[in-house]
Amino acid sequence: MGMAVDLRNRIAKRAAKEIHDGLIVNLGIGIPTLVADHIPQDIHVLFHAENGVLGTGPSPDPGKEDPTLCNAGGFPITTVMGASYFDSATAFGMIRKGYIDITILGALEVSEKGDLANWIVPGKRVPGMGGAMELAQKAKKVIVLMNHVNKQGESKILKTCTLPLTARQSVDLIITDMAVMEVTEEGLVLKEVMAPYTVDDVIRNTEATLKIHAAVNTIE
């Protein structure tokens, strides 16, 4: 069951609030690619793509796509003033050197300790890990955007991941269609709830142990 476009954009819009002026940000495939569409015009940020672009912009309007411009997932992009192009080796060198301030990734599972599993389901064909391993380990902040539950209605926020890991204890913030949770040294903290869900809904749909923030905000 896919996630509706308006719901995907709602998650992306919340993630955009984590981005501040002057940052270098990498966007993974899936929901993260929508984040660029929700950055206010007064926020100047350089989006980085592993295929060799620094300075990607919002998605192009239908019919205005440039076939020579795409992100690491192969989807059409625009560029902003000051954008630059380089080879993939340089793009990955930027990641491994720690120049990425925030990476925003999709995920299959995340554990309460911040372990990330987002690259393979055993037995299914996938294109590969891409840059997820380096990004999860080297970015200064790792934000995950995902469905809260899988197609069977089972939690994707777990005590321990069941799928092969991309990186251990790497995730800082999880944003789902139900909630916003921060990974801390004390555990997973529920900080915000997406209306119409309630704190009880989130607890019931989360396998991981949740600590409830003293003032949980509701995103209308």
Query: Which residues are known catalytic residues?
Result: 50
Question: CA 189 to CA 209: how far, in whole Å?
Answer: 9
* HSE toward the beta carbon, residue 124, CA cutoff 13 A: 7
Tokens read off for 30: 């899936």
Phi first, then psi: give them for residue 181, nearest 5 degrees.
-130, 135
Question: CA 148 to CA 146: how far, in whole Å?
Answer: 6
Question: CA 161 to CA 198: how far, in whole Å?
Answer: 25
CA geometry: angle 68, 120, 164, nearest 5 deg: 140
77 within 8 A of 51, measured Cβ to Cβ: no
Question: CA 158 to CA 154: how far, in whole Å?
Answer: 10
